[in-house]
């Protein structure tokens, strides 16, 4: 029996953001991140690691031309995860095997951005890239520069490791965004040709493979939604149904014999619909789970949805940092075991939290429950935003909850934890992923079905749907006040998410609470004002998490806070929060009464209650840490 | 100005151990560890990793014979750290580059053991090994099976990595122990011939190299002490004086160019006498520091002693676990930065604590101060003893202070932390090192100089020196009571170390306290009874150590205690010790009043004081942990 209630997210063309908090961030992405990445993709940023991304497409274009002319091209080995100028021929492919995806992500961000802010100059730049990309496409639709440049005879022979289907997925997502923004079909047509080739290649009675790094599944569902071509949806479902079946396809293609353990990393140890726990590479995981939720909805597939829900429960209740970070171990950039959420060894990749947001929205579209948007908000306002510096020019890949620069600089176990954001990574998945998520934020705010408009995030917007034209004015991140000005077109129900963090709130209209939403019947145009009390809260992490016993975190509204050395001196572990401190909030900063232990002289001494000095502890929002040079940081503090 | 006061340790032939605590352990080493290792060295332990040690000597013997006959021998590359049956020719050397040292350490243990417990069968076995070893020695005295088997033309061309001088050091130490026990000179003569070759090879106007892994320095001092041959002492000093000079010898031999940072690992970044901090591979470090202390004493070299003292201070005050473990990071098995003493990521190799004991005794022989024996005792009764199972058949290489088996089993960052002791390691430095230390414990108890006999450890013994014949009856580890029956030969001063852990004690004779020792003038035969109050103590670790804020450890006498899951259930982090608990001590076990937090339902929830249930917490001595199968363990507990 199906008790689910489906909904769909509103798209960018129906939702315009106008929000004091987000305008600034969008502006940074638009005026700083996107132009910066435009240069980075072409290796024009001095001092940054080379991308090779556009260079590869240009090389591939040359090879494609030769192939069309029937001229044999020189071949190079496809045997590595990364090809640099030292370990590969100068005419061969360079960069990571998934380097193509960077430009697709950039185009996706550009597409969303253009929908919000038309910009003919930017459009022209994107068109040039699209020309270069399409030039590299083969007549049969194939397009992956690694294989085109290095050895076209090897396509689709190593799905497990070499990311062809991953790059394809990003191509589709970029193409759709750009088409929706500009109406320019060139890249979309190319993506469809590649999609057609993939649908012809994989399936029952064809190659029974599936992607090593998931995303094609999600992308094919999107492409189906845009084009209505059933084959795309069917192939997405095929990838999910085939995954994890025995004998393992990844073994078949390599002639190896592996156990389930070997494929946890790829979530291919058992079929997805039998999975109950989030395991393996976290980004791959959340991308797969997102697609599973898509397919569960498209086919009204309860069994698959139950798998999604078990996995969701596992993440939300046992594997997610308070900041919405997931994938706590550097070891395979992966989900660790239950309750293993170390602060100073965290991985919590920016991309994994972005993928968690994808998963969350899709779960919300499968079932009405505010928990999904709660997690979406937690990840967005904390780990995702933390991924980018205030000026949009440097990025965190890894988002720890505790940092001691000395440890990061001298300890190989913590080398992944950077005490300051980096300019650009050769493995630059996070910065463009951030750009595309923030540029497409419009699509995460509202979901709707026939009767109801669900408000999942409280961001100032102008929105237009069949039910109403609505102007939302939001001071959510500061005062918690939000105003809805509704020009009603026909009666509907407005469902306002009550944030999980909020204990007290007022809504100026009558409402019923169900599944975490306040349902308000809208029969005519009306103004609604809401206030979510944004008291500072002290939050405890379960004592199952070893790193956090005896400690607590401070939050306000959607923001998790942290202490930094710049404000509180070094040795942050010596700080202690009072049990019931007098919090003072001022311009985004929280001041709290607390204590600092006097430093112990001896390494070991007979125990006595520590000497404490009263002090004022200063907390800043987690997403703003690391903008003042190398220094200690901690989310949790002793209490 | 020299304010130091030298002393010498008493040797095994003057000190017989008879102690309820140590008899059992000695017996285990004698009847279990030594016979077990005898088989292991010959690859006769089923299910254990192969040693190849004796096999290599046999192979080398064949090659040596050919060389003597002028027959060319087949050559094999010397290019790896470990040679197994897969990556090397079956006729080539197998095992780690330092595999020879295992049999030397075994012979050293056998020698000490024979002094305590004559055993003709064991002696015969050792003689057979010695024959095999000496058979492999070349006419010029050279003896390292890796080079003899694989390529004799390459000797002394890679001092940095391939451990020839390390194996030589262990050969000398084994030979000395065996000669002292049996009067059999065969191995000692062989060692001297090798030592002569080394003295002819290294020095001013000769090769200006020094060992990559220190120990030859210490061994040459010992050999000088036995033989009186000045060349041995001079070469030991040369190795120390030459180390760390620019240009780096390790660069010269390889044609590389390195910075100081590259040689922290080998303590060769700057000359030892300029060093002030313990850095790099911990075992190498403490072996070097031991030799520095030897040379500082032999040459009355204050500058070198000051370096030793700075390094000692750094270890004792900033880099040593409460268990006497040192070398806190798996990253290079090395000393980490100051105050970086993580519990669950600890390395704290058994061998490093053994080496710390070497260093401690040598510091005590340079300067009268009880701090050195305090550390010796801490390391001995905790990390060193923890290295071996109760039955002497399995061993810890790594000695963590907190273990969660799930983490060790699933997290690569913690893969070095074994939740149960292992049978034998192919890299088996720790088990034979343990055997030789415990078998030679007699030599760590007393030091003396002209006027004074210093008691550093309280172990039941019968001892004979020029000053007196003394019978020590000790119940130190249980009641803290020790009795001295002194048959005085001539007046002297007895200096009793007051253990650092002991706040209250009684001594039946009049005494003066100086430098941590109680000095008693002995003019005639007398019985002295001592009681060190062995109250259970709660010890705090400095709040500079992040892992331990808000926590404490429990100790009694020389023992650090820990909690295990087998006694206290899982989730040990939920336990809390009362501020002033009522301790009950029974048969080595401590019971304490405390609390257990109720498990939190939610991963994140608004903070409230935790629900506590009263409980009795059971502590066992740290050295006895891990004898009841895989389970959680923690030294520190919340308070």
Q: What is the pLDDT of residues B363-403, one digit of tens each?
A: 999 999 999 999 999 999 999 999 999 888 888 999 999 99
Stretch A142-160: mean pLDDT: 97
Reduce the DSSP state of residue A577 to 3 states and report it.
strand
Chain A residues whose CB is inside 8 A of the B603 CB are 316-318, 320, 541-542, 544-545
Give dist(CA B220, CA A588) in Å, integer. Answer: 66
Q: Say if residue A523's pLDDT is above 60.
A: yes
Report pLDDT digits (tens) over A582-617: 999 999 999 999 999 999 989 999 999 889 999 999
Stretch B153-167: mean pLDDT: 96
Q: Which of A316, A337, A545 sits opposite B410 (nearest CB)?
A: A337
Rg of chain A taking only CA atoms, in angstroms: 25
What pLDDT is attached to residue B425?
60
Secondary structure letter of residue A272 according to DSSP: G
Report the DSSP pairing between strands A452-455 and A492-497.
parallel
Given CB atoms, is A486 within the 8 Å cutoff of chain B? no
Reported ipTM: the value is 0.94
Share of chain B above pLDDT 90, in %: 88
Chain B residues whose CB is inside 8 A of the A607 CB are 537-540, 552, 639
| Residue A591 C-alpha, separation from nearest chain B C-alpha, in angstroms | 18
What burial letters (b/e) apply to B582-606, b meaning 16+ CB within 10 Å? ebeeeeeebbbebbbbeebeebbee
CA max distance for chain B: 84
| Residue A414 C-alpha, separation from nearest chain B C-alpha, in angstroms | 10
- CB-CB under 8 Å, B543 with A603: no
Stretch A484-497: mean pLDDT: 97
Q: Say if residue B427's pLDDT is above 70.
A: no
Report pLDDT digits (tens) over B504-561: 999 999 999 999 999 999 999 999 999 999 999 999 999 999 999 999 999 999 999 9
CB-CB neighbours of A36 under 10 Å: 22
Q: Say if residue B411's pLDDT is above 80.
A: no
pLDDT band at B426 (very low <50, low <70, confident <90, very high): low
Burial of B404 (0-12, 13-18, 19+ CB in 10 A): buried
Stretch B68-88: mean pLDDT: 92
| Residue A363 C-alpha, separation from nearest chain B C-alpha, in angstroms | 20
Q: Say if residue A367's pLDDT is above 90.
A: yes
What pLDDT is attached to residue B424?
62
Please give the residue of chain A at the shortest CA–CA distance from B328. A411
Give dist(CA B150, CA B80) in Å, integer. Answer: 12
Chain B residues whose CB is inside 8 A of the A329 CB are 411, 413
Q: Say if residue A425's pLDDT is above 70.
A: no
Report the DSSP pairing between strands B604-606 and B492-497.
unpaired
- CB-CB under 8 Å, B542 with A599: yes
* DSSP secondary structure of B318-333: HSB-TTS-B--BTTTT
Residue B211 — φ and ψ, nearest 5°?
-70, 140
Chain B residues whose CB is inside 8 A of the A573 CB are 543, 546, 549
- CB-CB under 8 Å, A329 with B411: yes
- CB-CB under 8 Å, B406 with A541: no
User: How many CA atoms lie within 13 Å of B365's alpha carbon, on the beta-carbon side?
Assistant: 24
Average pLDDT, chain A: 95
| Residue B95 C-alpha, separation from nearest chain A C-alpha, in angstroms | 27
Given CB atoms, is A465 within the 8 Å cutoff of chain B? no
Chain B residues whose CB is inside 8 A of the A407 CB are 337, 340
Can you read off the two tokens belonging to residue A107?
């185009």
What pLDDT is attached to residue B2?
47
- CB-CB under 8 Å, A331 with B411: yes
| Residue B546 C-alpha, separation from nearest chain A C-alpha, in angstroms | 6
Residues 249-308 on A with a CB inside 8 Å of B are: none
| Residue B363 C-alpha, separation from nearest chain A C-alpha, in angstroms | 20
**Contact yes or no for A443/A12 (Cβ under 8 A):** yes
Reduce the DSSP state of residue B334 to 3 states and report it.
strand
Write down the residue that tokens 């095992």 correspond to.
B95
- List helix spans (H) across A216-331: 216-227, 230-242, 249-254, 282-298, 302-318
Given CB atoms, is B574 within the 8 Å cutoff of chain A? yes
Given CB atoms, is A612 within the 8 Å cutoff of chain B? no
Nearest to B418 by CA among B391, B399, B390: B399
Q: List, by residue number, the catalytic residues of B.
A: 333, 429
Please give the residue of chain A at the shortest CA–CA distance from B537. A606
**Contact yes or no for B488/B469 (Cβ under 8 A):** no
- CB-CB under 8 Å, B604 with A539: yes
Given CB atoms, is A416 within the 8 Å cutoff of chain B? no
What pLDDT is attached to residue B409?
85
* DSSP secondary structure of B522-591: E-S-EEEEEEE---EEEEEEPTTSGGGTTEEEEEETTEEEEEEHHHH-S-GGGEEE-SS---EEETTEEE
Q: Helix B230-242 crosses helix B282-298 at what angle (to 10 degrees)?
A: 130
Stretch A260-278: mean pLDDT: 96
Q: Say if residue B76's pLDDT is above 90.
A: yes
Given CB atoms, is A170 within the 8 Å cutoff of chain B? no
* DSSP secondary structure of A162-198: S-HHHHHHHHHHHHHHHHHHH---HHHHHHHHHHHHH
Share of chain A above pLDDT 70, in %: 99
pLDDT band at A6 (very low <50, low <70, confident <90, very high): very high
Can you read off the two tokens belonging to residue B285?
């470090």
Report pLDDT digits (tens) over B190-205: 999 999 999 999 999 9
Q: Say if residue B1's pLDDT is above 50.
A: no
- CB-CB under 8 Å, A411 with B337: yes
Q: What is the pTM of this model?
A: 0.92
- CB-CB under 8 Å, A605 with B540: yes
Q: List, by residue number, the catalytic residues of A.
A: 333, 429
Q: Say if residue B343's pLDDT is above 80.
A: yes
Report pLDDT digits (tens) over A8-25: 999 988 999 999 999 999
- Alpha-carbon dihedral sign for residues A380, A386, A392, A397: negative
Which of A185-189, A414-418, B153-157, B249-253 is predicted with the least confidence, judged by mean pLDDT? A414-418
Stretch A283-296: mean pLDDT: 98
Q: Name residue B439's beta-bridge partners.
A: none
Give dist(CA A632, CA A418) in Å, integer. Answer: 11
| Residue A331 C-alpha, separation from nearest chain B C-alpha, in angstroms | 6
What pLDDT is attached to residue A424?
62
The contacts found for B502-508 with CB under 8 angstroms, 24 or more apart, are B502/B532, B502/B533, B502/B534, B503/A606, B503/B533, B503/B535, B504/B532, B504/B533, B504/B535, B505/B480, B505/B530, B505/B531, B505/B532, B505/B533, B506/B530, B506/B531
Given CB atoms, is B317 within the 8 Å cutoff of chain A? yes
Chain B residues whose CB is inside 8 A of the A330 CB are 413
- CB-CB under 8 Å, B410 with A549: no
The residues, any chain, with a CB within 8 Å of residue A255's CB and separated by 6 or more, are: none
Q: Say if residue A536's pLDDT is above 90.
A: yes
| Residue B407 C-alpha, separation from nearest chain A C-alpha, in angstroms | 8
Q: Which of B340, B541, B550 sits opposite A603 (nearest CB)?
A: B541
Given CB atoms, is A552 within the 8 Å cutoff of chain B? yes
**Contact yes or no for B180/B11 (Cβ under 8 A):** yes
Given CB atoms, is A540 within the 8 Å cutoff of chain B? yes
Reduce the DSSP state of residue B387 to 3 states and report it.
coil
- CB-CB under 8 Å, B597 with A543: yes
Can you read off the two tokens belonging to residue A226?
């845009």
What pLDDT is attached to residue B223?
98
Please give the residue of chain A at the shortest CA–CA distance from B600. A542
Report pLDDT digits (tens) over A220-242: 999 999 999 999 999 999 999 99
Q: Helix A164-182 crosses helix A120-135 at what angle (to 10 degrees)?
A: 140
Which of A621-625, B20-24, B432-436 is predicted with the least confidence, judged by mean pLDDT? B432-436
Stretch B422-446: mean pLDDT: 84
Which of A553-557, B9-13, B62-66 is predicted with the least confidence, judged by mean pLDDT? B9-13
Cα distances (Å, whole numbers) of residue A515 to A110, A318, A372, A495, A624: 36, 21, 11, 10, 32
Reduce the DSSP state of residue B5 to 3 states and report it.
coil
Report pLDDT digits (tens) over B579-635: 889 999 999 999 999 999 999 989 999 999 889 999 999 999 999 999 999 999 999
- Test the B interface: residue of A264, A317, A536, A549 with most B CBs within 10 Å: A549
Report pLDDT digits (tens) over B260-297: 989 999 999 999 999 999 999 999 999 999 999 999 99
pLDDT band at A3 (very low <50, low <70, confident <90, very high): low
Please give the residue of chain A at the shortest CA–CA distance from B314. A603
- Test the A interface: residue of B379, B414, B604 with most A CBs within 10 Å: B604
- CB-CB under 8 Å, B540 with A608: yes
Residues 347-366 on A with a CB inside 8 Å of B are: none
* DSSP secondary structure of A39-86: HHHTT-STTSPP--HHHHHHHHHHHHHHHHTT----------SEE-TT
CA max distance for chain A: 84
Please give the residue of chain A at the shortest CA–CA distance from B611. A543
């Amino acid at each position: 029996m199906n008790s689910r209630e489906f909904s769909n997210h509103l798209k960018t063309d129906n939702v315009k953001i106008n929000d004091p908090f987000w305008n600034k961030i969008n502006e940074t992405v638009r005026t700083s991140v996107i132009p910066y990445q435009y240069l980075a993709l072409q290796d024009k940023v001095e001092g940054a690691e080379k991308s090779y991304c556009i260079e590869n497409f240009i090389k591939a274009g040359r090879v494609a031309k030769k192939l069309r002319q029937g001229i044999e091209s020189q071949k190079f080995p496809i045997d590595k995860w990364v090809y640099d100028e030292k370990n590969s021929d100068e005419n061969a492919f360079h960069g990571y095997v998934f380097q193509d995806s960077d430009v697709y992500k950039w185009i996706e961000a550009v597409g969303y951005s253009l929908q919000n802010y038309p910009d003919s100059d930017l459009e022209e730049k994107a068109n040039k890239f699209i020309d270069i990309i399409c030039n590299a496409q083969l007549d049969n639709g194939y397009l992956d520069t690694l294989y085109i440049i290095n050895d076209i005879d090897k396509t689709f022979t190593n799905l497990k490791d070499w990311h062809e289907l991953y790059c394809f997925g990003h191509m589709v997502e970029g193409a759709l965004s750009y088409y929706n923004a500009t109406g320019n079909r060139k890249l979309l047509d190319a993506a469809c040709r590649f999609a057609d080739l993939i649908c012809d290649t994989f399936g029952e009675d064809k190659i029974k493979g599936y992607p090593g790094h998931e995303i094609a599944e999600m992308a094919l569902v999107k492409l189906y939604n845009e084009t209505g071509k059933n084959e795309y949806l069917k192939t997405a479902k095929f990838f999910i149904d085939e995954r994890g079946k025995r004998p393992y396809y990844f073994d078949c293609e390599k002639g190896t014999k592996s156990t389930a353990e070997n494929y946890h990393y790829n979530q291919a140890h058992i079929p997805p619909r039998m999975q109950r726990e989030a395991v393996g590479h976290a980004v791959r995981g959340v991308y797969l789970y997102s697609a599973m939720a898509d397919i569960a909805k498209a086919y009204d597939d309860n069994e698959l949805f139950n798998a999604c829900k078990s996995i969701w429960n596992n993440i939300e209740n046992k594997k997610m940092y308070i900041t919405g970070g997931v994938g706590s171990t550097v070891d395979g950039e992966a989900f660790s075991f239950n309750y293993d959420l170390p602060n100073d060894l965290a991985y919590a990749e920016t991309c994994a939290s972005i993928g968690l947001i994808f998963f969350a929205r899709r779960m919300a579209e499968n079932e009405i429950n505010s928990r999904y948007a709660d997690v979406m908000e937690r990840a967005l306002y904390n780990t995702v935003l933390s991924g980018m510096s205030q000026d949009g020019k440097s990025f965190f890949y890894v988002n720890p909850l505790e940092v001691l620069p000395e440890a990061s600089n001298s300890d190989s176990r913590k080398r992944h934890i950077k005490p300051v954001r980096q300019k650009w990574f050769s493995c630059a998945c996070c910065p463009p992923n951030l750009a595309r998520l923030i540029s497409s934020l419009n699509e995460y705010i509202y979901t709707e079905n026939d009767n109801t408009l669900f408000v999942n995030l409280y961001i100032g917007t102008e929105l237009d749907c069949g039910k109403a034209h609505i102007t939302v004015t939001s001071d959510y991140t500061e005062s918690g006040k939000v105003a809805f000005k509704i020009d009603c077109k026909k009666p509907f129900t407005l469902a306002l998410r009550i944030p999980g963090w909020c204990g007290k709130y007022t809504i100026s209209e009558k409402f019923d609470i169900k599944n975490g939403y306040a349902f308000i019947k809208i029969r005519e145009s009306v103004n609604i004002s809401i206030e979510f009390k944004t008291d500072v809260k002290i939050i405890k992490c379960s004592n199952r998490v070893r790193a956090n016993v005896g400690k607590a975190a401070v939050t306000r509204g959607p923001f998790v806070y942290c202490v930094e050395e710049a404000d509180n001196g070094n040795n942050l572990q010596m700080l202690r929060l009072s049990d019931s401190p007098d919090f003072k909030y001022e311009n985004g900063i929280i001041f709290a009464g607390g204590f600092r232990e006097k430093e112990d002289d001896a390494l070991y001494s007979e125990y006595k209650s520590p000497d404490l000095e009263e002090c004022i502890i200063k907390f800043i929002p987690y997403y703003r840490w690391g903008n003042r040079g190398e220094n200690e940081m901690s989310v949790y503090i002793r209490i």
